[in-house]
Structure 1
């Protein structure tokens, strides 16, 4: 049964839904999917907007009270549905221990947690709630999921807004994606060192020290140079340059430094993020550790900080990922089915608007622009005003602009 309660500026309704683990085979049992509905006190009869969170493998944003940013703007027009993607948050979680007696069985279980399964979950929820059509707002991986929704069930959608999430939809090989992201990583590193030129020597000395010394994080894992290079993930956010600079100012053996690095490289909180990450780009075919295979030497042995890249060694060095190790290796060889229907997208009739961030570290701009041209009627907003996290940094303005575009007001 749903439970509702008022908070300052918003009425919240929480629901748990039962959906098939395998939509094509309901005999495999069910899992729980959790949703949180937000509505203005006078807006419970407004149309629905589903927010699709970034990831993969992250639960929905948790609202503040009163709501702020894009949520506050959305509530002026909509009642908002926040979805904890299957496997995350208050939905049936995917933790360190995976169902299945063998790594192959565990990997097979995880194949049911991609964007296509999330879309089918939402279709179950839409039928359960008696909703004819709803709108989507997809951030990053949420945008990928929105494109899958447009491919699978466009009749369910009133309008779609995407921020930093236009994935290639033409069956492009995953190696093309990761070759491009490594090029963007080089550019981001160059911009960082241009802003903070003194950090180049500091970073080099730190990485050499981490190769030579057994420096332990608070949780017990060794902090290696290759683990520290993963902090390049910060270079794709609006505040990331400053976060990295202020971290490099700290003594490497200080509690503050070690704690901050552990928090920043803590893939263990949401293990699906690491284990399924490359699969979200696999629009057909196997990934075979694409980011690792295409990594330049300076990203493996030098001073180049990576972006949103996963490597086989992570399932050894990150203690919280070790239980997924064998399943992750199976998934790297798994032949993934297509996520998008390019013919259907080319005939699309649903209004769509999307931001394309010029300096996006995670989603290649040229591929995003190609997708914008491919999806019939999609109106792109190409901007260098924001990084990949523009919705978090300036959500009111971005959502307002996307609404104006998708509704023909701009």
Structure 2
């Protein structure tokens, strides 16, 4: 164990432990890890992890060691994991005898949270900010996991007991494939939900595949709510001709309003967007402006101000030796109905399309808390020096069981690209469904976990 690992191990005695409703023991702790794992003696950041133990499976402390670990890797990038009780998919994992480690990935939640106002004092210029942010991708997240695994499990006698299982939701699945590429020896098993990441070197093929899926969701939206064609055009016209500020000082522009389409990939997302469209058009009819309450609702539906890392690194999560060059912007410019400037001159029966999980350079003007990172975002978009995220040779020879639930109608992780990945990674089995979308693990936790555990048995009829 290195000196820095020994330092982190000393924190094990510095725990906060409590019990929550429904019989869960909670342990919360911080680990100090290198900012740059290639420079272990350099500066450090803190990683927060919350361990949940079902007390009915471990009546005594010594029984806890017998429970297998599963580490939950959250979607994102740039989102934390809140305290989860004994419900949803967590409850299903507890029922199967797992203790769960809920990890706030570096830069999120309590893990040295990263936003424009929390940057280190010595990180000031755009170039310094960009260089700092390069340390917050999947490759570094996986190294954090391995660092923590060795502290928690490294002293166990049996080598099999030193491994843990991981479950990756969405971007957490991207991290899982990086984990399999470089540290498969630390893994007992891998579960993926909507997380069979594309294995290319850049985001262009991703957005080229996803743009038609986003268009299809727009068509479904307008078929369900045909009156919204004129409502949305009415709203967009108002936003184009007026300066509309959100409660926190951002700008609600037509292009920002279109970004509500991010919700189209979630269960009930189409209905949620309709409600915001209805409220906005109603306000304009009654008051000739959008009310504070509606602006607040729109702002709350868009989380980029509070999760700035999601915006600035989103295209970089696909990059290996290649620059992103604002891929989503370049791809969507091929489709006129993503452009209000193009649609407004057409008949009023022509819809303007909402965008999906896409990051654009103008977001760094429209969102108040992204503005300080505008210069760094431009630098990162032009950066072609990104290191490898996957090792295709290792993945092809993979022997760790990978069990995946894959969503046919996913507008965040393209189904066809996911199938291409499945052919390139050894020992992958899938349950494929068109009855759930990207948040299936939350919407039907019982079925999703049941399917994963069933696949894991590798029983063939």
TM range (shorter): over 0.9
1:22–1:112 contact (8 Å) kept in structure 2: yes
Other-structure match for 1:18? 32
SS in 1 for 2:17: strand
SS in 2 for 1:32: strand
Q: In the TM superposition, what is the alpha-carbon distance from 1:265 to its structure 2 partner?
A: 2.0
Partners of 1:85 and 1:130 in 2: CA distance: 19
Q: In the TM superposition, what is the alpha-carbon distance from 1:298 to its structure 2 partner?
A: 2.2
Partners of 1:175 and 1:23 in 2: CA distance: 29
Other-structure match for 2:447? 397
Other-structure match for 2:195? 165
Q: 1:63 to 1:380 in 2, by over 3 A?
A: same
Partners of 1:187 and 1:234 in 2: CA distance: 14
Deviation string 1:120-152 (CA, Å, 9 cap, x unpaired) is 001110111125100011000000000000001
Q: In the TM superposition, what is the alpha-carbon distance from 1:408 to its structure 2 partner?
A: 1.9
Mapping of 1:167-246 within 5 angstroms? 167-169=197-199, 171-246=200-275
Deviation string 1:300-340 (CA, Å, 9 cap, x unpaired) is 32411000111111111111111111111111011212211
Mapping of 1:16-95 within 5 angstroms? 16-41=30-55, 42-43=57-58, 44=64, 45-64=66-85, 67-76=86-95, 77-95=97-115
Partners of 2:275 and 2:129 in 1: CA distance: 40
Mapping of 1:7-406 within 5 angstroms? 7-8=20-21, 9-41=23-55, 42-43=57-58, 44=64, 45-64=66-85, 67-76=86-95, 77-97=97-117, 98-99=119-120, 100-131=123-154, 132-169=162-199, 171-250=200-279, 251-252=282-283, 253-295=290-332, 296-301=335-340, 302=343, 303-335=352-384, 336-406=386-456
Q: In the TM superposition, what is the alpha-carbon distance from 1:172 to its structure 2 partner?
A: 4.5
Q: 1:323 to 1:129 in 2, by over 3 A?
A: same
Q: In the TM superposition, what is the alpha-carbon distance from 1:271 to its structure 2 partner?
A: 0.7
1:159–1:351 contact (8 Å) kept in structure 2: yes
Partners of 1:284 and 1:58 in 2: CA distance: 25
Partners of 2:20 and 2:439 in 1: CA distance: 27
- Tell me whether 246-255 or 236-245 shows the greater mean CA deviation: 246-255
- Tell me whether 368-377 or 13-22 shows the greater mean CA deviation: 368-377
1:284–1:339 contact (8 Å) kept in structure 2: no
Q: In the TM superposition, what is the alpha-carbon distance from 1:283 to its structure 2 partner?
A: 3.4
Name the TM-score, length of structure 2 as normaliser. Answer: 0.86
Q: In the TM superposition, what is the alpha-carbon distance from 1:383 to its structure 2 partner?
A: 0.7
What is the aligned-residue RMSD (CA, Å)? 1.3
SS in 1 for 2:454: helix
Deviation string 1:345-375 (CA, Å, 9 cap, x unpaired) is 1000000111221110111110001111211
Partners of 1:92 and 1:266 in 2: CA distance: 19
1:160–1:406 contact (8 Å) kept in structure 2: no
Unmatched runs of 5 consecutive residues or more in structure 1: none
**Displaced runs of 4 or more, over 6 A:** none
Deviation string 1:368-391 (CA, Å, 9 cap, x unpaired) is 011112111100111101011101
- Tell me whether 142-151 or 34-43 shows the greater mean CA deviation: 34-43
SS in 2 for 1:283: coil
Name the TM-score, length of structure 1 as normaliser. Answer: 0.96
Q: In the TM superposition, what is the alpha-carbon distance from 1:409 to its structure 2 partner?
A: 4.5
Partners of 1:340 and 1:222 in 2: CA distance: 38
Deviation string 1:1-60 (CA, Å, 9 cap, x unpaired) is 122111122000011000000000123311000000001013323100000000001112
SS in 2 for 1:16: strand
- Tell me whether 85-94 or 278-287 shows the greater mean CA deviation: 278-287
Partners of 2:25 and 2:184 in 1: CA distance: 29
Deviation string 1:61-120 (CA, Å, 9 cap, x unpaired) is 4213xx101000111220000000001111111121434232112101100000010000
Partners of 1:75 and 1:61 in 2: CA distance: 17
2:201–2:322 contact (8 Å) kept in structure 1: no
Partners of 1:145 and 1:284 in 2: CA distance: 18
